[in-house]
Structure 1
């Protein structure tokens, strides 16, 4: 007799009233198989039923129980937007930007802020301005040096002034580039500002192949940039005549046409927008009536591989996109404005688009990873980076610069700490003097205290 049979016999002997079928079921369960699930018992809910009905009954008995608090009971100034203190700051104007004004916080004038509204802002700057009462910045010594470079470039070719703002993450490169744009707008420069160059290569806008130029155009982006450029520079470009001849299917732009008419072709016909944008920069390079500033934030993105794909699903290089290639030609001096400058700012926040080795070596920076003669370089990127000059932004704020920033945020009632030297110095030390860390991680964290 097998062990299982003996077991069944033993179980039957001990329970004479058990049927063979039941005995077999007991034997199967004893081998470790799962037993049939038992019906779940109903458990009383810990939540009170019909809570909404109970609330409605209580509200009917006492109508004032759930009434909102009257606005006049909110006495704290944080709830009274009409009592918010306006920032009393000197206005950021070219005639006031002297070396003596270093370490001074200044507000951008309302007429000059149209460039900010038209072109947009880098994300970190936009967040700051959403919290402050008005767009402003602190004039630093590096600001005066950068604006002096612009003054010298006003009468020379842009090939001689191709600067790239470099420095540690959060040191203020984007703010410095924004100050340069504001300065140029008020000095009657024709300006083209691209605050987020990463959007040119991250596949966030449509693209189409142009067999004539063998590049990929971005009609939607080009059309938007043409509109923004026209809004900011309308008063300056309306009298500038086109020097070339551009026959389009719908109309021909010739020597009797103005730059405004050329831009209108791109605004009316989106498929012409990438071509019109390249033509516009070519025309701006030839005119000498006004200096031209081309300012590009996230500058390193132009030297990266884009997220776009060709018909064979291979990644498209940034310089195979029509407008990024045009920007790289002006950055490298292959094309140049007869009067003007090209400014760029490196960004390290987005680790997907890092500065490549070719750009780092051209700027004389220390590469993040060891490099040597056997590390391959892309010759096209080497050519596009040739001649760029490094404009270093200090990694740390001075005490006076940080004090001006502290006063701005304190005056805007954005901080929940008392004004005092001890608090200021503790926050300055906590951030290590880094501008972004000082604002976002030292000052604004006081809101949660």
Structure 2
């Protein structure tokens, strides 16, 4: 019954039509019961997947499969008048909006993401595991944890400091909430007036889902399509701030044209949007200009951060795997993450992911980030010098493995009020699921609360 009740309600969905961390759109998706009334005087057609008698056999005597198979058609919502489809209004889930000024005042409470037209979640997208949660929930929301308040304080101080002193990588066990914490940092910065560049799926930078070309000038492999998409989304999210900034030094676009001092940054981005082949050069010049200006702090947030240190699935002319740092986009991000390039005001935050085993966290990277200082790399294994160069000075934050009871209670309240549970549950049920999951955030929801809907 809970599944039918949930099916009759509007759900918020994030679509991701492109291969990269795509431009996403939120829309309300009506999920309807699959049935269709038979009109008066009309014979109801039923599909059959069985084999008929002699008439259904070919010349060789073999049975033919019936071509007309049954199909389901959606029933209009107005016809769902049976009490089983009745549900309370979706607006019952009332949560405060996630805002920079309210985060520190609401530890252990759930807050919803407001999602305006230019919101980073809507434009940049979200990681796949977060996407699934948001498709089920009627409103994208998250719980403000103690580590969230700590990270918000770090960002508040970083707004007046160079990004060289504020380079962080979020690490922790699988399902501990690293992606959610990074998303909260992005929303915090956006609501506090920062300029935000969010890469929710860095694996898409190295899994050969985007075109690439070799550039002999830089001796790297350019990714013009991904750079073009990044420019487009960055302009949409930060249009207001970009309209108030201009170029501080002449910018040469691959010997084709030179933009003079005083050119608005929007015009610089338009050059890359008009000609996709120069988008990587424009993106690099844009970030350099953002690094020099001091009017707005800048946040560079990267999920699947470990993928930037792996062998990509791209191939060179000799069919050998291309290292990630030989691709233009990962190399540019690593230069800011390592402090080789900086923002005058801002921070760089990455989050490690273990959901994709193809681009998993290696032992060498664990040691370089200080996650396993007692485990030295094998003396028989070659450690590439780029690994040490691009991880130098990065601070590692370990996410708590368990939710506190208050944090888990707030998470339970969100899913319970959103009618995700099939019946009224007592406090014993909450404590049982919290104990079974060991306090792990993802297991508490998916193997605990939502597992009650399995048959």
Query: Are the counterparts in 1 of residues 186 and 301 from structure 2 also a CA contact under 8 Å?
Result: yes
Q: Which residue of 1 aligns with 2:239?
A: 234
| Number of aligned residues | 387
Could you say if the C-alpha distance between residues 72 and 383 of structure 1 is closer, same or farther in structure 2, counting changes exceeding 3 Å? closer
Report the Cα offset of residue 254 of structure 1: 1.6
Aligned pairs (5 A) from 1:57-136: 71-76=79-84, 79-80=85-86, 83-98=89-104, 100-111=105-116, 114-136=119-141
Q: CA deviation at 1:81?
A: 6.8
1:308 to 2:314 alignment: yes
What residue is the counterpart of 1:171 in the other structure? 176
1:344 aligned to which of 342, 350, 353: 350
State whether structure 2 residue 332 is matched by structure 1 residue 326. Answer: yes
**Pair 1:125–1:368, CA change in 2 (3 A):** farther
Distance 1:256 1:351, change over 3 A: same
The 1:426/1:284 distance shift into structure 2, 3 A limit, reads same
**Which residue of structure 1 lines up, in the alignment, with residue 300 of structure 2?**
294
Gapped regions of structure 1 (runs ≥ 5): 1-44, 52-66
Matches of 2:78 and 2:280, distance apart in 1: 56
Partner of 1:258: 264
Q: Distance in 2 between matches of 1:70 and 1:324?
A: 50
Q: Secondary structure at the match of 1:352?
A: helix
> In the aligned structure 1, how far is the partner of 2:78 from the partner of 2:234?
47
Mark the CA change 1:81 to 1:118 in structure 2 (over 3 Å): closer, same or farther.
farther
Partner of 1:216: 221
SS at match of 1:343: strand
- Paired residues for 1:152-171 under 5 Å: 152-171=157-176
- Give the conservation status (yes or no) of the 8 Å contact 1:294–1:342: yes
Query: For residue 185 of structure 1, what is the aligned residue in structure 2?
Result: 190
1:399 aligns with 2:387: no
- Tell me the C-alpha RMSD between the 2 structures: 2.4
Q: Alpha carbons of 1:257 and 1:71: their partners in 2 closer, same or farther (altered >3 Å)?
A: same
Structure-2 separation of matches of 1:86 and 1:154:
36
CA contact (8 A) 1:154 1:339 kept: yes
1:3-82, aligned counterparts within 5 Å?
71-76=79-84, 79-80=85-86
TM-aligned CA deviation for residue 182 of structure 1: 0.2
Give the drift of 1:448: 1.8
Specify which structure has the higher proportion of helix: 1
Q: Secondary structure at the match of 1:341?
A: strand
Partner in structure 1 of residue 24 of structure 2: none
Structure 2 unaligned runs (5+)?
1-49, 57-74
Please tell me whether Structure 1 or Structure 2 has the larger radius of gyration of its CA atoms. 1
Distance in 1 of aligned mates of 2:216 and 2:96: 53
